Structure 1
Amino acid sequence: MSDFSNSLAAFASALRAQAARLRHVSENIANADTPGYRRKMVSFEAVEEAGGERVAVGRVRLDRRALERIYDPGHPLADETGHYRGSNVDLMIEIADAREAQRSYEANLKMFDQTRQMSANLMNLLRK
């Protein structure tokens, strides 16, 4: 029976990790027009625990790509040439990351539910 609980714990950790990823993607999208904002990228790590491996959110890194130079002489942050630094968020990448995180979340949720149903069916069989 502990295999079921270990599986549920592994899927739950994966759900938490994908939720964290979606949170960072949504922050990136919300700050796409914020001057000087750098895209946040989340990484995952495998963590060994007594019941098996789990997924944990690793360090959040900032994207080191160059910030976009935007020409707007009237902007308060513009330099003497009329340019200021925008963000390095690419909305197409963020949408793709959000879709991938959503699909991973859904797959883990389905596996979590199937494991829970198998455990419930096993308990029903053992009661008979």
Structure 2
Amino acid sequence: MSEFSSALSLSSSGLRAQAQRLRHVAENIANADTPGYRRKTVAFESARGDPDAGTAPGGVTPGAVRLDQGPLRQVYDPAHPLADATGHYDSSNVNLMIEMADAREAQRSYEANLKMFDQARQMSSGLMDLLRR
């Protein structure tokens, strides 16, 4: 595998991983008011790479999706259908500030991987132009 295709493979693995992370952040934000909803998190794992499949070692893959086991927020609303005898029910454990920070971090990481992909593509194209002369 050439260095250019390795660079493209590495950056594309980062793009896929950050895209999945953004999907989970979006799900968390969408379900912030859903009673009993637990925040989803995803950790990244190092990819071994498979030369036959065209993937370089050193990339990342999203790991298993985990549910945040933190405590659910207790909300007082006696009129809510899920309220117990004291008038409380379990809301979600999604913190919108954390989700917005995660979304920003994933967006920046996605943009960095996209720039790396574009740079490798431009360098490869420039090399081909030089070789044609």
Q: Which of the five TM-score ranges fits, normalised by the shorter chain? A: over 0.9
What TM-score do the two structures reach when normalised by structure 1?
0.97
Matches within 5 A, 1:88-107: 88-107=93-112
Q: 1:52 Cα deviation (Å)? A: 2.2
Query: C-alpha root-mean-square deviation of aligned residues, in Å?
Result: 0.9
Alignment of 1:4-43 (within 5 A): 4-43=4-43
Moved more, 45-54 or 23-32: 45-54
Alignment deviations for residues 62-112 of structure 1 (CA, whole Å, 9 cap, x no partner): 111100000000000000000000000000000000000000000000010
Number of equivalent positions: 128
Q: What stretches of structure 1 move > 6 A for 4+ residues in a row?
A: none
CA distance in 2, matches of 1:38, 1:75: 19
The CA distance in 1 between the partners of 2:28 and 2:61, in whole Å, is 21
The answer to whether the aligner puts 1:120 opposite 2:125 as a matched pair is: yes
* Counterparts of 1:30 and 1:88, CA distance in 2: 13
Consecutive unaligned residues in structure 2, runs of 5 or more: none
Give the Cα–Cα distance (whole angstroms) in 1 for the partners of residues 48 and 59 of structure 2.
Answer: 6
Distance 2:14 2:88 in 1: 42
TM-score (norm 2): 0.94
The structure in which a higher percent of residues are strand is 1
Distance 1:126 1:76 in 2: 71
